[in-house]
Amino acid sequence: MKNYCIQDHYPEQYCHCYGCGRENRHGLQIKSYWDGQTATARFTPGPHHIALPGYVYGGLLASLVDCHGIATASAAMDETGEDREKAGPQLKRYVTASLHVDYLRPTPMGKELEITGTALAVDKDKVVVEVKISARGKVRVRGQVLAAPMPKSMA
Amino acid sequence: MKNYCIQDHYPEQYCHCYGCGRENRHGLQIKSYWDGQTATARFTPGPHHIALPGYVYGGLLASLVDCHGIATASAAMDETGEDREKAGPQLKRYVTASLHVDYLRPTPMGKELEITGTALAVDKDKVVVEVKISARGKVRVRGQVLAAPMPKSMA
């Protein structure tokens, strides 16, 4: 499978998310790339994304876990397979039922973060995704997202 | 005790947090008010803080839980008591060890959110804080923050 950007395959009407919406010009525009097994994103926090001097804001890290976890769920549940590029922007959207974030060690400012996501458990109604955020070669944050298909009532 | 804004009592060198730093002009500037038992904040998300159309972004809600939870810990552990206003900006700073957020129901856009925080368990090395976020009179989000005193290595 050719790597693709998951958020570029979200439907037109659901691509405004502050964290990862390609149509939100005030947002973080997180891009998660799927290789068939794992989702990977890279993000460099801005100087304003500070917690205490020298360290990245925990709420931003939680946001990265959230959007990247949901993207991982969406790609892991996709059955289009090899034809994803041809299929176009119509990946099923997921929402966050719960989010857990462990801040294992402080995350330094000014470095590119690598974010990986793996689906641990998958069924029709929920996907459990593990997300890790690394900087300078060390895992700084470990998160878990419980993702559920977008309910019809939110459409 | 007279209500006070917890973040206004953070030390000068630690008030730049993207979520709640009074000196971060690009940040959310969350303000948490302490009445001696409970911390309360009010926040109205901007139109760009969107998840799916009509609903607030989960990463923003996680950020509110994080900063408000940490503020609650800081106030709950303060021993200055009635003299807090006189004591000035020198509350002890806490950091987030872990964050858990349950999204109980969707949070509608365009409404003021009420955020409450209560310290459930307190000891010298950690504080467990429960945070709830309500909109239109219903609890939308329930969060838990494990807060620890800022390590000396981060000073």
- Chain A residues whose CB is inside 8 A of the B49 CB are 18
Confidence of residue B54 (pLDDT cuts 50, 70, 90): very high
- A52–B100: do the CB atoms touch at under 8 Å? no
A and B: number of Cβ contacts within 8 A:
129
Query: What's the distance, Cα to Cα, between the start and end of chain A in Å?
Result: 30
CB contact under 8 A, A14 and B98: no
User: Tell me: the pLDDT tens digits for A113-144?
Assistant: 999 999 998 988 999 999 999 999 999 999 99
Report the candidate in A5, A112, A110 with the shortest Cα–Cα distance to residue A67.
A5
Query: Are the CB atoms for B34 and A68 separated by under 8 Å?
Result: no
Per residue in A33-79, pLDDT (tens digit) is 999 999 999 999 999 999 999 999 999 999 999 999 999 999 999 98
**Mean pLDDT, residues B59-87:** 93
Q: Which two tokens stand for residue B71?
A: 């503020």
> How far B125 CA sits from the closest chain A CA (Å)?
16
CB count within 10 Å of CB B131 equals 29
Q: What is the largest CA-CA distance in chain B?
A: 46
Of A74, A133, A52, residue with least CA distance to B74 = A52
Question: A119: which residues sit within 8 A by CB, 6+ positions away?
Answer: A72, A73, A76, A77, A127, A128, A129
Does the pLDDT value for residue A1 go beyond 80? no
DSSP-based three-state secondary structure for A63: helix
Contact status, residue A118 vs residue A64, Cβ threshold 8 Å? no
Q: Residues A69, A141: contact at Cβ < 8 Å?
A: no
Domain count, chain B: 1
Q: Tell me the sheet residues that pair with B57.
A: none
Best interface-test mutation with A: which of B10, B66, B115, B146 has the largest number of A CBs within 10 A?
A: B66
Mean pLDDT of B26-33: 98
Among partner residues A16, A46, A101, which is closest to B53 by beta-carbon distance? A16
Residue B114 structural domain: 4-154
Q: For position B140, which CATH number holds?
A: 3.10.129.10
3-class secondary structure, B75: helix
